[in-house]
């Protein structure tokens, strides 16, 4: 017995001082933390909502509760860089933040463009403050924010942008405003050219915050048509406006105006943008194409972050009460009828495309923490940090995954959330938007 105890101590057993204890130990999982350089079987001890110890073995009797996570993957709390969680205010787009967040195994969600300078106080009061999930935002460059722009594209004109007001709101609320959101897509360019993007870039410059730019057709063309605009030239014209740290979103979009042109070639300017310090976010959502993702990955275009981009038009969640029927039941909307998905499903997609788990984990932990300028708070498992932790199942077999062109791939690994800890409190993965495994 004495020899067994000595061996456990030699292997990294943490011995607590007399009378002290932990609240919880996560025992025996494969802990992967890119920021800390950890990858191996470890125990994690939690006390008072913070990480108290990480070691190969921690004495079980030192904790009030021990949860066996053997065979599972334990990572820093997942960060979803592209959410739509301004519920009700953004119409059907806005999902419940905890449904997208802690109930899906995600501890931090970034709302991409839901609040504007006009609606930011409500976002703080009714979304950020009451949510169990850690919620922040990239502030919309447009006064209307993330209203259902496919119904009201005229509201996204240059007249709908107020640079000074948006800069003031962002600078006064940098605890929750971590960037600016804008769109570079054919519907807008056919109406107003590049002017809106120039204004959004100015907001990003004046605030010093990253600008997150949507690429790929989103809004319908005006009645006058394309007005001489070519979707394949948009990305080449926008990138010179951007600064290091700005984010190019939807690299694998199925829609015109993305990273891959009509000839099936990756724009040469993308590599130059990466060399300039621009970042790439997958922004899975209703845009993702396995076919185009493979082209971009084969060309050496590696995403930095992996936002899920879930919203009410690409999930099976009913429209909020009071939504006008023509909006709640829009059979012609291009996003209609998409399968459920999640941030962990997006992780599975990237692995199915040939990336390793070790390449994907930084995209949902340490890299997004850096994008938000919060690498000292989130995205890492370190003693003394807030206990934001995600526990994942790594299921093996043959599973169907489907993209937004209705292409299917067979995945041999399916990453699914088991539960997460947010500030040390456990939340099981019970979200109704989590997809079911479909055996191949």
Average pLDDT over residues 201-228: 94
8 Å CB contact between 144 and 116:
yes
Q: Average of pLDDT values for 190-207?
A: 97
Map out the domains of the chain with their CATH numbers: 2-75+385-396+412-428 (2.30.40.10), 78-371 (3.20.20.140)
pLDDT classification of 20: cutoffs 50, 70, 90? low
The structure's pTM equals: 0.92
- The per-residue pLDDT of the chain, averaged, comes to 90
Q: What mean pLDDT is predicted for residues 162-168? A: 98
Token look-up 């990239």 returns 138
pLDDT tens, position by position, 258-269: 999 989 899 999
Q: What is the mean pLDDT of residues 408-426?
A: 96
> What is the pLDDT at residue 7?
36
Interval 411-426 mean pLDDT: 97
pLDDT: which is higher, 318 or 172: 172
Residue 295 has pLDDT above 60, yes or no: yes
Statement: residue 219 has pLDDT above 90: no
Average pLDDT over residues 136-140: 98
Report whether pLDDT(15) > 90.
Answer: no
| pLDDT, position 4 | 34
């Amino acid at each position: 017995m004495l020899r067994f105890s000595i061996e456990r101590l030699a292997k990294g057993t943490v011995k607590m001082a007399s009378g002290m204890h932990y609240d919880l130990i996560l025992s025996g999982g494969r802990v992967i933390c890119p920021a800390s350089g950890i990858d191996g079987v470890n125990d994690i001890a939690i006390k008072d909502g913070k990480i108290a110890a990480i070691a190969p073995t921690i004495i079980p009797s030192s904790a009030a509760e021990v949860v066996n996570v053997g065979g599972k993957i334990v990572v820093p709390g997942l960060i979803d860089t592209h959410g739509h969680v301004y519920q009700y205010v953004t119409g059907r787009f806005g999902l419940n933040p905890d449904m997208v967040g802690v109930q899906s195994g995600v501890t931090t969600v970034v709302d991409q463009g839901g609040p504007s300078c006009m609606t930011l106080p409500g976002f703080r009061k009714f979304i950020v403050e009451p949510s169990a999930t850690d919620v922040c935002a990239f502030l919309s460059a447009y006064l209307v924010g993330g209203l259902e722009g496919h119904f009201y594209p005229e509201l996204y004109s240059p007249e709908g942008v107020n640079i000074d007001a948006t800069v003031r709101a962002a600078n006064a609320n940098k605890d929750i405003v971590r960037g600016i959101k804008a769109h570079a897509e054919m519907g807008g360019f056919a109406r107003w050219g590049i002017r809106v993007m120039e204004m959004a870039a100015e907001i990003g410059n004046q605030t010093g915050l990253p600008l997150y730019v949507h690429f790929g057709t989103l809004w319908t063309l005006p009645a006058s048509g394309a007005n001489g605009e070519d979707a394949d030239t948009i990305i080449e014209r926008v990138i010179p406006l951007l600064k290091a740290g700005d984010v190019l979103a939807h690299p694998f979009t199925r829609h015109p105006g993305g990273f891959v042109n009509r000839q099936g070639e990756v724009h040469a300017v993308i590599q130059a943008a990466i060399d300039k310090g621009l970042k790439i976010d997958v922004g899975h959502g209703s845009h993702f194409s396995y076919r185009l993702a493979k082209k971009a990955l084969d060309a050496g275009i590696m995403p930095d972050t992996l936002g899920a981009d879930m919203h009410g038009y690409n999930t099976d969640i009913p429209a909020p009460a009071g939504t006008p029927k023509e909006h709640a039941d829009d059979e012609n909307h291009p996003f209609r009828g998409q399968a459920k998905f999640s941030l962990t499903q997006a992780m599975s997609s990237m692995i199915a495309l040939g990336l390793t788990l070790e390449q994907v984990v930084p995209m949902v932990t340490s890299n997004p923490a850096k994008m938000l300028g919060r690498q000292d708070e989130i995205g890492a498992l370190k003693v003394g940090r807030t206990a934001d932790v995600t526990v994942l199942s790594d299921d093996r077999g043959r599973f169907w995954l489907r993209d937004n062109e209705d292409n299917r791939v067979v995945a041999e690994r399916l990453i699914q959330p088991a539960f997460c800890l947010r500030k040390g409190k456990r939340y099981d993965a019970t979200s109704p938007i989590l997809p079911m495994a479909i055996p191949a």
